[in-house]
Amino acid sequence: MEHVIEINNLTKSYGKHRGVIDVSFCVEPGDIFGFLGPNGAGKSTIIRSMLGFIHYEQGEIFLFGEPVKSLGSKMFERIGYMPSEAWFYSGMTVRDTLKFAADMHKVDASDEARMLCERLQVDTEKKIRELSLGNRKKVSIICAMQHKPQLFVFDEPTSGLDPLMQAEFFKLIDMYVAGGATCLLSTHVLSEVKNHCNRIAIMKEGRLRKIDTTDHLTKSGAKHIRMLRDGVEEDFVYKGDLNDLYKELEGHDIGDILIEDPPLEEVFMHYYEV
Amino acid sequence: MNLTLFRHECRQLVKTTLIWSLTVGLLGFLCIVVFSSLQGDMESMSEQFAKMGAFADAVGMNKLSIGTIEGYYGIEIGTIFGLGGAMFAASIGIHMLSKEEGGHTGEFLYATPVSRRGAVATKFGAVLTALVAFTVICVALFGIGFLILGDGVNAKKFLLFHGTQFIMDVEIAALCFAISACTVTNMFGFGIGLVLLLYFADMIARVVPSLEFLKTISPYGYSNAADMFSETEMCVAGLVLGVALIVAALVFAVIRYERKDLAS
């Protein structure tokens, strides 16, 4: 089956500053793909390279099986992108903004926009300059969704949204993915990827540290160990062979020991700290 | 050319275009309608200005008499319209492309199926439309002024002057547009500075014989009102260079903007 996103050996630098180094991964049809990493890890650089906003030095990027460089701006007929910062033309109303975005896609998205505005509780008569960050984010979500694209790319979509709207946002993603779409979700909110993504890529310092299914990552062999060794409490994630750990513990006074699968937060921190 | 983007850009330019064209147009209109009451003073001023040597050469008073309607139009309104139109052209051209990044709207706009080349063509189309509107409004107001005054200037010279002024405005807009492709911030001050530099380059060329070549470089060289109304031969080399610069600036803008990493 054709990958929706295929990135091979992507390298992008900003002059002397690191961008991303030799990153490769694929996103399959129907995936809700979580893209995790701290600020400055290179997540946005990969997204912006993929969407043609910035140019990269090495590597190849394919969307829907075609090189992005040959797709050009036509790719956006099939992509809904929500940038991390939701900015629009400040003098326009929400209604005009949504109409402008739909017209640029050459589609009549009025029914879909109406449904999305109702579900996300957006007042379309307000001017963009009157909106709070959260409401601008909602408008950005609607702009990305209203033309019913095949691929959604969300960069930090839920920052500024209240918990109810975050839940509604993920219900909408689930609805579109059930209808055949694919979603790339860049975030550093672990609970979002744990609860909604089926695959996860973890970035650190411009490199891809790990890519796997959410299930595998949470059951990856790493164990969360809590024990009382020689009267000292210890709490850590252990990635090695447990037999080696048992050998290491021989001769020590083990007062108590608990070995369990770590929560995703600890897996994530483990890759960050490597 | 993307019609949705074109309409959007034109809408964004309406207020600025009206402000500039009504300001310049009404200023010229008022100057025209008060000419008859100033005519006597203008005739004596003209004699005094004629004795001012280099200054008179620089502003074209060695060729025109400010005491006649044609001389008055060429010197007074020609200066107002020449500077006002060029400043308007610079002000809209200088941030036409950079405003998307400066206003953080680049990712919103370019996440739609519009290519950067298409956006450049469309945005310059909107600039041209604004310049046409500016010229038409000003010329209409000047025409009304002549009707009220009951006097006028030679129609052929009038049209030639405003035709070359339009090309000058397009040239300045295109140069500023090319600069806009390289920047992220609004370089309004730079645009106005460029206009004044070109204006003074033309004045210097008219005073210092060894610097006459500046007349070819500055667009004020081929669109000078004093030259038009005194039927001095037009600086054709300057006009050809101007048209070549328009084409070069637009080609540069397309290439530079397509290769640019968009700021988020």
Question: Whole-angstrom Cα distance, residue B132 to residue B107?
Answer: 30
**Interval B214-233: pLDDT, tens:** 888 999 999 988 888 887 78
pLDDT at A32: 95
| 3-state helix/strand/coil string of B96-150 | CCHHHHHCCCHHHHCCCCCCHHHHHHHHHHHHHHHHHHHHHHHHHHHHHHHHHHC
pLDDT at B14: 96
Using the Cβ of A48 and the Cβ atoms of chain B, whether some distance falls under 8 Å is answered with yes
A77 contact residues in B (CB cutoff 8 A): 113
With CB atoms and an 8 Å threshold, state whether B111 touches A103.
Answer: no
pLDDT at B27: 95
A103 contact residues in B (CB cutoff 8 A): 4
Using the Cβ of A72 and the Cβ atoms of chain B, whether some distance falls under 8 Å is answered with yes
Average pLDDT value over all residues in chain B: 90
Question: Taking 60 as the threshold, does the pLDDT of residue A274 lie above it?
Answer: no
- Nearest by CB: A100 against B4, B115, B262: B4
B262 contact residues in A (CB cutoff 8 A): 48, 53-54
Closest CA to A189 of A96, A267, A265, A101: A265
Token pair belonging to B193: 């500075």
pLDDT at B55: 67
**Interval A111-158: pLDDT, tens:** 999 999 999 999 999 999 999 999 999 999 999 999 999 999 999 998
Q: B232-255: string of b/e by CB count within 10 Å (b at 16+)?
A: eebbeebbebbeebbeebbebbbe
pLDDT band at B46 (very low <50, low <70, confident <90, very high): low
Chain B residue with CA closest to A143: the answer is: B108
pLDDT at A113: 95
**Interval A239-251: pLDDT, tens:** 778 888 888 888 8
Using the Cβ of A54 and the Cβ atoms of chain B, whether some distance falls under 8 Å is answered with yes
Using the Cβ of A77 and the Cβ atoms of chain B, whether some distance falls under 8 Å is answered with yes
B261 contact residues in A (CB cutoff 8 A): 53-55
pLDDT at B26: 96
Question: Whole-angstrom Cα distance, residue B238 to residue A47?
Answer: 47
- Nearest by CB: A104 against B107, B113, B116: B113
Using the Cβ of B122 and the Cβ atoms of chain A, whether some distance falls under 8 Å is answered with no
Output A189 or A156, whichever has higher pLDDT: A156
pLDDT at A1: 60
DSSP 8-state assignment for residue A93:
B
Output B58 or A146, whichever has higher pLDDT: A146
Using the Cβ of B262 and the Cβ atoms of chain A, whether some distance falls under 8 Å is answered with yes
Average pLDDT value over all residues in chain A: 89
With CB atoms and an 8 Å threshold, state whether A85 touches B104.
Answer: yes
Using the Cβ of B189 and the Cβ atoms of chain A, whether some distance falls under 8 Å is answered with no
Question: Taking 60 as the threshold, does the pLDDT of residue B142 lie above it?
Answer: yes
pLDDT at B210: 86
Question: Whole-angstrom Cα distance, residue A189 to residue B43?
Answer: 79
Q: B85-103: string of b/e by CB count within 10 Å (b at 16+)?
A: bbbbbbbbbbbbbbbbbbb
Q: C-alpha distances in angstroms, B142 versus B8, B38, B73, B74, B231? A: 30, 17, 10, 12, 21
pLDDT band at B211 (very low <50, low <70, confident <90, very high): confident
Pairing of strands A66-67, A58-63: antiparallel
How many Cβ pairs closer than 8 A exist between chain A and B? 71
Which residues on adjacent β-strands are paired with residue A36? Answer: A187, A202
Question: Taking 60 as the threshold, does the pLDDT of residue B201 lie above it?
Answer: yes
B259 contact residues in A (CB cutoff 8 A): 55
Lowest mean pLDDT segment, chosen from A147-161, B63-77, B122-136: B63-77
Lowest mean pLDDT segment, chosen from A39-53, A178-192, B53-67, B77-91: B53-67
**Interval A23-37: pLDDT, tens:** 999 999 999 999 988
pLDDT at A240: 79
Q: What value does the mean pLDDT take over residues B85-111?
A: 94
Question: Taking 90 as the threshold, does the pLDDT of residue A60 lie above it?
Answer: yes
With CB atoms and an 8 Å threshold, state whether A105 touches B261.
Answer: no
With CB atoms and an 8 Å threshold, state whether B113 touches A87.
Answer: no
Using the Cβ of B15 and the Cβ atoms of chain A, whether some distance falls under 8 Å is answered with no
Residue located via tokens 């604004």? B130
Closest CA to A143 of A117, A119, A171, A168: A117
CB A8 within 8 A of CB A46: no
The interface predicted TM-score (ipTM) is 0.85
Question: Whole-angstrom Cα distance, residue A205 to residue A228?
Answer: 35
From the CA of B97, how many Å to the nearest CA of chain A?
A: 14
pLDDT at B50: 66
